[in-house]
Structure 1
Amino acid sequence: MKMVFRWFGEGNDTVTLEQIKQIPGVEGIVWALHDVPAGEEWPMDKILQVKEAADKAGLHMKVVESVNIHEDIKLGLPSRDSYIDNYKKTIVKLAEVGVKVICYNFMPVFDWVRTDLHKELEDGSTALFYEKEKVAHLNLEEQVQRINANPNFTMPGWEPERLGRLTELFDAYRDVSEEQLFDNAKYFLEAIIPFAAKYDIRMAIHPDDPPWPIFGLPRIITGQANIRRFLGLVDSPYNGLTMCSGSLGANPANDIVAIVNEFADRIPFAHIRNVRVYDNGDFIETSHRTTDGTVDIAGIVNALHENDYEGFCRPDHGRHIWDEQCRPGYGLYDRALGIMYLWGLWDANRRKLQTGRMGD
């Protein structure tokens, strides 16, 4: 398992590369050009700026999250071919700087949805929260304003240029079914996967967050059966999965250990975080510790270890603790604690393999 840490770039992150470097076992950053709109070719000069900063800190930049898919590709519009061409041009540039994995998603309009970015937990920390009943009656314009209330941080999946077209996008998706979204994904994959393979970059689809339809929009990466179908659209090791325990874990029906066991050789990248799911369908993000949430984090790490996982892994969203002022879900402290918990599970598995028992 290769540990990495998401970084939003100079001037766009409260966490520095120097701090990331001090977290035990972290060898690289998960990065993106968050100021480049979806569909545009990434400029090489901006890519090289990230590479220069990473090199200076002694960190690699082998994982990109995300090269976003333009909505015209998801909608299957005639203009999609030009955006796919731009995607290919970006892949060429990323290969030049050593990128090996591109995490992306195929979610219409929204990459993720929460109703509260700072819901208080019992210990006084705060975390991202999803209230099912509120989502059913959510005023999207007001939510957009809340998400973008802090102009100092970009919020991935809620970019202003996309959200400024909400009415237009909802109209465009009105007649798009799950089947059509799968068809449009297949078109994209058939164009991109052979090209990515040529440049030895593995594409890794991120599950939908949450893993069910919202606001009348279709969702296709929601559970084991749909993941199996998606990976079969183009059956190639370069058509992979970003295993996100938090996204999949919001639906307790998802057996994430089974997902890891079935698709282990198709998981180049893993997001590991915990959520606590309530009986009414609400969920809140917790510490990474298994007993703090509903997700079997220990079982997931065990399954990765048993499958000799050699891909990249990062701690996903963390709580906001110790008065840290940061991008919601992306502070330093709780994610660093999460890494140490994941390493503890991993090391215990390694010791068990070596000695035949946990611990020593």
Structure 2
Amino acid sequence: MKMGFRWYGEGNDTVSLDQIRQVPGVETIVWSLHHKQAGEAWSQEEIDAEVSRITTVPAEARERGVTKAFDAEVVESVNVHESIKLGRTVLGTSRDEAIENYVVTLERLARAGVKVVTYNVMPVFDWLRTDLWHPLPDGSTALFYDQGVVDGMDPARIAEAVLAGAPDLTLPGWEPERLAHLPELAAAYADVDHEAMYANYAYFLDAVVPTCEEHDIRLAVHPDDPPFDLFGWPRIVSTKDDLARVLSLNDSPHHGLALCVGSFSANPANDALDAVRTFMDRIHFTHVRNIKHLGGGTFTEVAHRACEGDVDTVGIMRAYAEAGYTGYVRPDHGRHLWDENTTNRPRPGYGLYDRALGIQYLLGVWDAVRAGA
């Protein structure tokens, strides 16, 4: 297993690579080119520059005795253009044009040493919360989802609220360039059902998986967040049955999951531990975090420790350890702690301290199980 830490790039993250180096156990930086729009091909020059930035210890740090280096083997995410999900031209881009650019990007990432590429197939919104800074009883804040708020608001107002609550950093999944076309996208999905989404997804996989096999790069699809339909738009990676069907669309081992146990567990009917055990051999990347259900579809994100919420993070890490899991893991959304709520406001869910604490907790479970404790 390799422990990773998601990083949004120089000048686009309140957390620095120098700070991440001081988190014990982190080997992999999970990265992306966040200025790229869905459907756009990534250039080799930009990819190589970012990989070099991640994997090279700067001269100034070496002078201070720093030797710890990272790899850049996981990209999260290369976003899937809406034309691929819809199976037709939208926002001026055809499905085949978007797929061709995706294939080119995969080839270039493979040349740079990338091993896993994460993506999702959620319509319009990659993820949804109704409060990005919800106060918790201990004084920290966290991401929060209130089903009642969603039921009473239209997508445009939700988008406005989310963007208004974000700091002056990119917010992946909520790119203003794409949200500017929200009415067009909403109309495009009006006559698209789950079966059409599966068919369009299968078309995408059939087109890109041969490239993954040729270049030995693995695709890892992220579960829907939250894992149920929103605003009448069909979501197809929400339940255990969905995961099984998604994997059956293409039986190549290069097609697999980025199993985010927090996202998956946002539906209380889902059993994340069971999903880990069932799909272990197709989980290329996993996010381990915790949430607490508050009833009526409402939930809050909490600390990674199992007893803080409703996700059995201990059981999940035990399952990975007992199986000798060799993929990638990272802590996911953390609470915002200490000065992060005042002077050093991070991207929502992606501060330094709680993710660092989460890593130590998750590695503690892993080390104890592997040691036979």
| Fold in common (TM above 0.5) | yes
Cα distance in 2 between the residues matched to 1:334 and 1:343: 14
1:131-167 deviation per Cα after TM superposition (whole angstroms, max 9, x unaligned): 0110111243333233323462111100111100110
Partner of 2:175: 159
2:60 aligns with: none
Q: Could you say which residue in structure 2 is the equivalent of 1:179?
A: 195
| Residues in 2 aligned to 1:188 and 1:51: alpha-carbon distance in whole angstroms | 27
For each residue in 1:220-252, what CA deviation from the matched residue of structure 2 results, as whole angstroms up to 9, or x when unmatched? 001111100110100011110011011001112
Cα deviation per residue 1:103-134 (whole Å; 9 max; x = unaligned)?
00000000100000000001010000000110
Give the letter for the 1:42 counterpart. Answer: W
The aligned counterpart of 2:41 is 41
Match of 2:366 among 335, 342, 346: 346
Moved more, 133-142 or 291-300: 133-142
Whole-Å separation in 2 of the counterparts to 1:138 and 1:203: 34
Partner residue of 1:247?
Answer: 263
Query: Alpha-carbon deviation of 1:45?
Result: 2.0
Which consecutive unaligned segments of at least 5 residues does structure 1 have? 353-357
For residues 156 and 326 of structure 2, the distance between their equivalents in structure 1, rounded to whole angstroms, comes to 42
Size of the alignment, in residue pairs?
353
Alignment map for 1:267-282 (pairs within 5 Å): 267-282=283-298
Determine the structure 2 residue equivalent to 1:284.
300
Q: 1: distance between equivalents of 2:331 and 2:281?
A: 20
Q: Tell me, in whole angstroms, the C-alpha distance in 2 between the residues paired with 1:349 and 1:39.
A: 42
How does the TM-score come out when normalised to structure 1?
Answer: 0.96
TM-score (norm 2): 0.93
Which segment drifts farther, 48-57 or 292-301?
Answer: 48-57
* 1:120 equivalent in alignment to 2:140: no
- Residue in 1 aligned with 2:333? 317
**2:70 equivalent to 1:59:** yes
1:261 pairs with one of 274, 277, 282? 277
Q: How do residues 4-43 of structure 1 correspond to structure 2 at under 5 angstroms?
A: 4-43=4-43
Contact kept? 1:147, 1:155, Cα under 8 Å: no
1: CA distance, partners of 2:348 / 2:263? 16
1:49 Cα shift?
2.0
Aligned to 2:52, what secondary structure does the other structure show? helix
Indicate the residue corresponding to 1:355 in structure 2. Answer: none
Q: Deviations over 1:77-110 (max 9, x none)?
A: 1520111000010011101110000000000000
Asked whether the equivalents of residues 292 and 308 of structure 2 are also in contact (C-alpha less than 8 Å), the reply is: yes
Counterparts of 1:170 and 1:139, CA distance in 2? 11
Q: Please, what is the CA RMSD of the aligned residues?
A: 1.0
Distance, in Å, in 2 between the alignment partners of 1:144 and 1:130 is: 14
3-state SS, counterpart of residue 114 of structure 2: coil
- Gaps spanning 5+ residues in structure 2: where? 58-68
Q: What secondary structure does 2:27 align onto?
A: strand
* 1:76 counterpart = 2:87: yes
